[in-house]
Structure 1
Amino acid sequence: MAKQKVAVIGGGVGAITAVYAITQTPDWDKKYDITIYQLGWRNGGKGASGRNAEYGQRIEEHGLHVWAGFYDNAFRNMRRCYEQLVELGLRKESDPLGTMDKAFKPLSHLFLAERVPTTSLDENQWRPWVIDLPGNDKQPGSETQVPDPFQMMMRILEIVIEFMKKGELEDGPHHQLGIALPSGLLGHHQSIHRHVASMPADPAKHTARDTNILLDFIDAAQAAVHAMETPENIQDDAKRRGLYLVDIGLAYMRGVVGSDTFTSGYDVLDQWEFTDWLRMNNASDQALDWVAIRGCYDFVFGFPQGNTDRQGDTGAGTAIRAMSRLIFTYSTAIFHKMQAGMGDTIFGPYYQVLAAIGVKFEFFCAARDLHLNDIGTRVDRLSMVRQAKVKSGNYEPLVDVGGLPCWPSEPLWSQLVDGTELKKQGIDFECEKSPPTGTPFELKRGKDFDIVLLGASLGSLPYMTRELSATSDRWRLMLDRVKTVGTHAAQLWLNKSVKDMGWEDRVEVHNSPTAIPSSPMRTIITGFAEPLDTWADMSHLIPHEAWPDPGPASISYFCAPAPDGETLDEFNTNVASWMDKDLPELWPKARKRGKFDKALFHDNPESAVYSRVNMYGSERYVLSVTNSVYHRLAPSESGFSNLYLAGDWTRCGLNAGCVEGATMSGIACASAITGVDLLNVGAEDIPRENTLPEKAMFQTNSISGTSWPLTPFFARGEMTGVFFFYERPRDEVQTMLPDGIYLGHCPMVRPGYHPVGMSFCSYHNVRGSFIPNFLAMRPYGEATFAIPYTHTDEGHAAPFLYPRRLYVNNSSAIFAGKFFYAMPKSKAEINVENTRFTASNADALSIDFCAEQHRDPVALSGHAAHGAISDLLDMTFVTRNTRGQMFYNAFDLQLDRSYVAPISGEVSVTDPSADGFPDTQMEVGPLLNHRDMRLPGAFRIWCSWSMTNPLDSRRVRHAAQARSWVRRND
């Protein structure tokens, strides 16, 4: 059997780990012939680094790279790679970075730069907060599974309570975390925990009643925290930090409990932006403006277009998954610092091992276009350019720096034909401001490749995959909806340590002495002033560079998002101003005559400062903006039979721009190519075959899904009427529900409120499906008060609409509704006019609605508010008979063929009935032309309708449960 030829485009984390994972499968070398085609002279993509021989072999990075302790897949692969280095005789354990433990060192603390307004103009508003998280004895990369969302919430809750019980959080700063809480919050958290512990371990068995009780406990705790966020407490560093952390934690719990995250996974939350989702779940504005939230965005460059003046944009599910894993599932320590450049530590070992076992590397070979066959089903040709010709035909990319194989910061010109001339021209082989140029050549399917492994980063794909976009809507939407951002970075080599520049003195002012790490602090801090909001003290790299004596005393790396279109000159100008104005706030002893002391630069500014702007192609950072997760393609989902994907832009289970995300994608890609089920920790939140079960997409709660013999028998008719929904206090709405029906979570209203709705309608041609038109009921009027987004225990997470009261002026309609559907219908005198609806009865009921129509009717299918209206009106009905039995039916208004017009009006309701309409006096506003998910405003609707057979209740409920898996992804 001939080997399958695999052409790999790109050499970043995704592509390299995919290839490495393939080589870990049995007999890979007998099955595959792998060639990696690399733009320029080095592997690494955004993680590439180089050594500058002119300036002390200094390490020059694209930015700041630190590994998190939860990178289980990345650490497992990397550890095996280091073992293979030794096994293959490529390195000795005694060599620099000869083992995994030499290559990475744990770091248990991090800093956040709080900016706290003060009354004194002389007082520094920046307050560095050190968070020292306890270490553990877990080996990085040893985990084989991660907690599911319910387990994760339990773990977080138990950790918080443990701290409180020990008194480490309450009435005294925790020695490591530097936080305190006023008395009184422990009891609230214990009540939450007791109730959670009483619920089944399997979230699918949680009842709606238990969920609502849990939400009540959380709401009570939130009210207590908000009452404690007084100006006095906020000015106290430890109490401010404690209160805001608990505030955010409770909002997180409220959000996951009130959604179907426990049964469907975190991705369902990505329909909301992270901060908006926390606000929607009652986090205070003060806490949301705090650096712990800002830091979540800074760590992932989460600002589209690089605009750091606006709120960032990250999907709530992706943010919750990543941050909870970062803080609560790390091994050994929360962070691990590489002991050389990322190219030296990661891509050097991978390159050495892969090259030694038979993987081929073609440097200076860049892809320009992927071409499809005539029917657009597979990749047939690759248009390539050879950027430079190698003299010997085989480029050797690494140089020795103190016994460590490293990538240089520029090509090894002596190996290239006309290398001296190319260097004089200043050619940049890695720049993708325009597609790469060089001598064209082609790779053809069947001759040069059978499989294409596309590992180029998302920023390179628009020019590289034009035919794919023209052929595939999914591909085009992915490129459109999954966003990237430019970044910029600066590195400083200085003649003083950060301690001597006053950093440690700054830390001591606002942190407990027992919380402060020993000197040197090995600082990583985020949340600082733009344009460089994140800083890491990287002075531990000095021994791995080759400066002549005396060398620098410290190295600092800075990075942040870059505004779209920024040039290096613009960035350097901004950095110079920032160094004079803001940097001395961290290093007060670096200020001289009101500015940064330039004498601190090691040797001279040219050798002491390295800056870069990463604006084009593979240099851009992949974001996880709201709703984009639904448009990511999994490594096996390219839509083309011989094309597989690898990179942090794919749907991989983490769905975030980081080494672990790219590694998980690479592993999934290797599994898809080889058919081998490779360990991929955390690839799914919920163990199931598909993230979106296909069966749900075939389910319908309408009559079209009814099974024989019930299929021909249903109710139908026509209707015109007015609908509007509005908010009422959640506690008040809960009292309107009968036993066994509970309020769910609604994204359309403010925390503490729930939507309710009224409709005033005229019904025509109402009849059974088997009855001719001339035998239909006479036209009648109906007033309805209903509560959407309710749950039942047997329906689990599916949302239902509960019709609390229907007043009708037709005895036949009342009988049919009560007898067949358990509808709570009652007789009333009703008058229906174009602009007025009134209802009354002998029990002093009075309903009066006056309306004004503002525009001509339009098709609902094309209206901006179609999604919000569909969510409210296309909901399965639930009713309860006098024996407590639940009935489920679908009242299908055939919204795809309906017409709507905005109306405004005034409604007045007086209803003495204990289970009737709530007394109401209010004005209602008209339907608005907006797409966001809020209550849509009042509208008149014209439609035909059908209602499922009452004997079809069980199927309708099951269909509603299945449909609840399907998330809106537009």
Structure 2
Amino acid sequence: MIDSREHIVILGGGVGGCAAAYWLTATPELRAKYRVTLYQTGWRLGGKGASSRGESDQHRSEEHGPHVWFGFYENAFKTLRGAMEEHQRLGYTIGRFNTIDDLFMKAHEGVFYHHDEAANKWEPWKMTLPEYAGEPGDGTPCPDIRSNLWRMADHLALNLSKVGAFGPIATRFLKVMEKILGRSVAWQKAMTCPVGVDPGDPSGWASYLSRRLVHLAGDERHWYGEPLIGRGFKLLLDYVGWKLRRMKKRAKTSAEIRELCIADLYRTCLRGALVDLLLRDEMFRQLDQHEFLAWLKMHGAGFHTVKESPFLRGYYDTPFAFSKGQAHDTNNANFAAGAALRGFFRIFFGYKGCYVHRMNLGMGECVFIPLYRVLKERGVRFEFFHRVEALESNALGNRVTKIRINRQVDLAAGKDHYDPIKQVAVPQADKPPIIWPVWPEKPMEDQLDPATLPPADDPGLESHWSTHTSGTVELYDRMDPSANGHERFDHVVLAIPPAAHPHLAKDLLKRDTRFRVMVSTAETIRTIAAQFWFINQDALGWQGHDYFCELAMAGSGPDPFNIIIEATNILRTEATPGASHLLYLCGPASNDPNEPPADSDPGYPAREKARAKATALKWIQEEASLWPGVCYPNTSTLDPMALYHPDKNATVEQRLDWQYFRMNIDPGERYVLSTNTSAPNRLWPWESGFNNLVFSGDWCRNSIDIGCVESAVTSAMLAAHHLTGYPTRGMIDGLQYD
């Protein structure tokens, strides 16, 4: 029987591809009108968000790198909440987890490491953020831009009150402005300062700035208001900036620098938003032509380099914002100002509930197992082991007419699909084992034709350097007269990152100038990741210090692993008895000028993994003082016997070897940067230049424009809306930040 539904082909099974499939099949009406096929390289979904369980009996969770979900991820949580509710209705569970609340734990703290050069030590600066009403994706209204500004003004006022940068001049100024405008503002209780500062008297100067500033809005739809009061507050913030810069010259202690540093960042972002978005009436994306550090300096920042501000360094570390493939070179720090300012507002002031939600499982299990099961039940066809090789244009240059795909392996005789989920039994002390569904570390060969499996020296079917193939699949545009006898498609969703486009979309790039410019200016960077398991029963040596009240989530740490996350909560889902702590480390890695081309040198990925291992082991031994509890007594040297190994009698070398290391070098694994030379050239999902092609991923324009889960899901929702009209634009959060 011929299926008359319109055929949507999704290329790539990362967040962008899976979220697009979710929204394209979200209603019975959509499923009746469209059929969806997703093509994925290798044996698992996830892209750079993929995770798996190792083949050993410990079933350890292995990631491309650490992941967290920020509290402003409204679209991502909305998608996953819906998927988990449907997942539960279908009778599925993920081990003992049934709901989205089981999958995540709330977090209120962040840590920024300050390097005291005089003492040559790293000092953690803890930041605690308040919990607001609602939960992301729960259907309640999200904070708008004006609400974000209000919260930010509160935090700024409290910091200024603490450091003494607020005084009678500011008070008199605000009263004059009230008189001129004929408007007074009833006092409301101030928020909690994000760095743990005692807000003091809530009826004092803090409320004057925050509550008068939030009353700027003359129109409910916008956070800004009358130009008169906007210019007035610009003068006030200029005065505050002058005072902070003077105080910076006199600051001597770490505590003084810490409070001035955060107050200066708040003041400068607030001042820049007032001037550029209110007085100059620009949009966030128009600011992308500036680099964020230069933009801060332009608005009078006292701390405007990543070397002197751990808060700025941590903010740059999170999106690996180092350009030209030069990781950790502060001269190449590059973050588009519009994306950076938008992200700053949303991460720290635009969230519901807690500012961060930590996963209790690997990303693959938390996100891609429920999505895969739900989509499979909806009728989405998954074609694993299909690597996209080329998209070709028609003669007019306005449609994708053919897609050529490498079928990497064949299924075993009698199999009509590959089942990618493996069930593993994780033992528990004095309890029955828990059955967890997981993505395995390698393909399950019992489902595959042994004659088509890759040779032993192949770097793996997910690798850019694999040359293995068992055949070619060609898909044709339904409007192409030569499509007879071939699989046809009506629409294409390209959910593969731009580092791969010069290889697979070469013909399209020749045809469309804007597409070509977006890809040619897009910058991506390698990342390096490691995981360390510890057995120290006396914790990591943080007890007795006011470093962290929760599992640590830190930025601006020692290079190259400047992102440090304690993921000890995930130990509960592993068979690693005796392991007491689990650390995830990640950071950017410089490009290799001698990187061999695709489909060549199959030994290259293994050599890069070995380099990642050597780098990580050298780092953990040099920087072990971050965790005094794993060092030899009265030293800052790592005691390698504190590293976990399933064999209690394992040697030092065995313990070091057992930890997990990886270098993310494939085009689909590289992180897409938001630089001031690339962000202005991003295209919306519908702007591909081809009538039947849309984009989906964190690399296209999506009102966030920073590489993250929320960016990918937002773009997927926009792509689905363009193709089908659903979800409606009113269902897509964050578009007001353009």
TM bin (shorter chain): 0.7 to 0.9
Alignment CA distance shift 1:488-1:438 (3 Å): farther
Show the counterpart of 1:529: 558
Asked if structure 2 preserves the Cα contact closer than 8 Å seen for 1:368 and 1:436, the reply is no
The secondary structure found in structure 1 opposite 2:684 is: coil
Q: Which deviates more, 425-434 or 384-393?
A: 425-434
Show the counterpart of 2:257: 240
Alignment CA distance shift 1:9-1:338 (3 Å): same
2:298 is aligned with 1:280: yes
Asked if structure 2 preserves the Cα contact closer than 8 Å seen for 1:4 and 1:449, the reply is yes
Show the counterpart of 1:826: none
Show the counterpart of 1:932: none
Show the counterpart of 2:174: none
TM-aligned CA deviation for residue 408 of structure 1: 0.5
Asked if structure 1 preserves the Cα contact closer than 8 Å seen for 2:289 and 2:680, the reply is no
1:554 equivalent among 567, 573, 581: 581
Show the counterpart of 2:151: 155
Asked if structure 2 preserves the Cα contact closer than 8 Å seen for 1:266 and 1:685, the reply is no
2:395 equivalent among 371, 374, 383: 374
Show the counterpart of 1:601: 643
Asked if structure 2 preserves the Cα contact closer than 8 Å seen for 1:344 and 1:404, the reply is no
Show the counterpart of 1:194: 212
2:631 is aligned with 1:580: no
TM-aligned CA deviation for residue 605 of structure 1: 3.0
Show the counterpart of 2:129: 133
Show the counterpart of 1:415: 447
Alignment CA distance shift 1:360-1:606 (3 Å): farther
Show the counterpart of 1:23: 25
1:490 equivalent among 530, 533, 547: 530
Alignment CA distance shift 1:342-1:230 (3 Å): same
Asked if structure 1 preserves the Cα contact closer than 8 Å seen for 2:155 and 2:194, the reply is no
Over the aligned positions, Cα root-mean-square deviation in angstroms equals 3.0
User: What is the rounded CA distance, in whole Å, between the counterparts of 2:357 and 2:64 in structure 1?
Assistant: 18
2:296 is aligned with 1:256: no
2:269 is aligned with 1:229: no
Q: Which AA in structure 2 matches 1:645?
A: F
Alignment CA distance shift 1:584-1:635 (3 Å): same
TM-aligned CA deviation for residue 334 of structure 1: 1.3
TM-aligned CA deviation for residue 441 of structure 1: 2.2
User: What is the rounded CA distance, in whole Å, between the counterparts of 1:411 and 1:157 in structure 2?
Assistant: 52
Asked if structure 2 preserves the Cα contact closer than 8 Å seen for 1:52 and 1:59, the reply is yes
Please give the per-residue CA displacement for 1:50-102, whole angstroms capped at 9, x wherever unaligned. 1112251111110011111111111111111111112122338xx52211111
Alignment CA distance shift 1:143-1:631 (3 Å): farther
User: Any stretches of 5+ residues in structure 1 without a counterpart?
Assistant: 692-970
Q: Which deviates more, 46-55 or 435-444?
A: 435-444
Please give the per-residue CA displacement for 1:770-808, whole angstroms capped at 9, x wherever unaligned. xxxxxxxxxxxxxxxxxxxxxxxxxxxxxxxxxxxxxxx
Show the counterpart of 2:494: 454
Show the counterpart of 1:88: 90
Alignment CA distance shift 1:249-1:11 (3 Å): same
TM-aligned CA deviation for residue 281 of structure 1: 0.7
User: What is the rounded CA distance, in whole Å, between the counterparts of 1:626 and 1:427 in structure 2?
Assistant: 35
Please give the per-residue CA displacement for 1:543-587, whole angstroms capped at 9, x wherever unaligned. 21123xx44222110000011128333332222221221132333
TM-aligned CA deviation for residue 154 of structure 1: 3.0
TM-aligned CA deviation for residue 234 of structure 1: 3.7
Show the counterpart of 1:441: 473
2:44 equivalent among 36, 42, 45: 42
% of aligned pairs identical? 29
1:354 equivalent among 375, 390, 405: 375
Q: Which AA in structure 2 matches 1:269?
A: L
More helix by share: 2
User: What is the rounded CA distance, in whole Å, between the counterparts of 1:503 and 1:85 in structure 2?
Assistant: 40
2:4 equivalent among 2, 5, 9: 2
- In the TM superposition, 1:66-85 aligns within 5 A as 66-85=68-87
2:318 is aligned with 1:299: yes
Asked if structure 2 preserves the Cα contact closer than 8 Å seen for 1:108 and 1:134, the reply is yes
TM-aligned CA deviation for residue 116 of structure 1: 2.2
Alignment CA distance shift 1:430-1:306 (3 Å): farther
Structure whose CA Rg is larger: 1
Show the counterpart of 2:117: 117
Show the counterpart of 1:388: 409
Alignment CA distance shift 1:616-1:35 (3 Å): same
TM-aligned CA deviation for residue 163 of structure 1: 7.0
Asked if structure 2 preserves the Cα contact closer than 8 Å seen for 1:664 and 1:680, the reply is no
Alignment CA distance shift 1:170-1:143 (3 Å): farther
User: What is the rounded CA distance, in whole Å, between the counterparts of 1:633 and 1:493 in structure 2?
Assistant: 42
User: What is the rounded CA distance, in whole Å, between the counterparts of 2:502 and 2:448 in structure 1?
Assistant: 30
TM-aligned CA deviation for residue 159 of structure 1: 4.0
Show the counterpart of 1:327: 348
Q: Which AA in structure 1 matches 2:266?
A: G
Alignment CA distance shift 1:110-1:481 (3 Å): same
Alignment CA distance shift 1:306-1:605 (3 Å): farther
User: What is the rounded CA distance, in whole Å, between the counterparts of 2:11 and 2:146 in structure 1?
Assistant: 39
Q: Which AA in structure 2 matches 1:403?
A: I
TM-aligned CA deviation for residue 495 of structure 1: 1.6
TM-aligned CA deviation for residue 415 of structure 1: 1.4
The secondary structure found in structure 2 opposite 1:403 is: strand
Q: Which AA in structure 2 matches 1:131?
A: M
Q: Which AA in structure 1 matches 2:591?
A: D
User: What is the rounded CA distance, in whole Å, between the counterparts of 1:364 and 1:140 in structure 2?
Assistant: 35
TM-aligned CA deviation for residue 252 of structure 1: 1.1
Show the counterpart of 1:684: 735
Show the counterpart of 1:920: none
TM-aligned CA deviation for residue 393 of structure 1: 3.0
User: What is the rounded CA distance, in whole Å, between the counterparts of 1:680 and 1:74 in structure 2?
Assistant: 12
Asked if structure 1 preserves the Cα contact closer than 8 Å seen for 2:227 and 2:278, the reply is no
TM-aligned CA deviation for residue 191 of structure 1: 5.3
TM-aligned CA deviation for residue 632 of structure 1: 1.0
Please give the per-residue CA displacement for 1:405-463, whole angstroms capped at 9, x wherever unaligned. 11011111221111796373444111124787542221112242111111112222221
2:539 is aligned with 1:500: yes
Asked if structure 2 preserves the Cα contact closer than 8 Å seen for 1:39 and 1:430, the reply is yes
Show the counterpart of 2:609: 568
2:66 equivalent among 55, 60, 64: 64
User: Any stretches of 5+ residues in structure 2 without a counterpart?
Assistant: 168-191, 425-433, 479-486, 596-607, 646-653
TM-aligned CA deviation for residue 107 of structure 1: 1.0
TM-aligned CA deviation for residue 110 of structure 1: 1.4
Please give the per-residue CA displacement for 1:852-871, whole angstroms capped at 9, x wherever unaligned. xxxxxxxxxxxxxxxxxxxx
2:520 is aligned with 1:464: no
Asked if structure 1 preserves the Cα contact closer than 8 Å seen for 2:458 and 2:467, the reply is no
Asked if structure 1 preserves the Cα contact closer than 8 Å seen for 2:154 and 2:209, the reply is no
Alignment CA distance shift 1:667-1:269 (3 Å): same
User: What is the rounded CA distance, in whole Å, between the counterparts of 1:428 and 1:227 in structure 2?
Assistant: 58
User: What is the rounded CA distance, in whole Å, between the counterparts of 1:420 and 1:383 in structure 2?
Assistant: 19
Show the counterpart of 1:635: 685
Q: Which deviates more, 408-417 or 174-183?
A: 174-183
User: What is the rounded CA distance, in whole Å, between the counterparts of 1:318 and 1:287 in structure 2?
Assistant: 18
Alignment CA distance shift 1:236-1:643 (3 Å): closer
The secondary structure found in structure 1 opposite 2:330 is: coil
More strand by share: 1
- In the TM superposition, 1:886-901 aligns within 5 A as none
The secondary structure found in structure 2 opposite 1:430 is: coil
Q: Which AA in structure 2 matches 1:253?
A: L
- In the TM superposition, 1:739-888 aligns within 5 A as none
User: What is the rounded CA distance, in whole Å, between the counterparts of 1:589 and 1:264 in structure 2?
Assistant: 51
TM-aligned CA deviation for residue 149 of structure 1: 4.2
Asked if structure 1 preserves the Cα contact closer than 8 Å seen for 2:423 and 2:437, the reply is yes
TM-aligned CA deviation for residue 158 of structure 1: 3.0
User: What is the rounded CA distance, in whole Å, between the counterparts of 2:214 and 2:456 in structure 1?
Assistant: 68
Alignment TM-score, normalising by the size of structure 1: 0.64
Asked if structure 2 preserves the Cα contact closer than 8 Å seen for 1:413 and 1:419, the reply is no
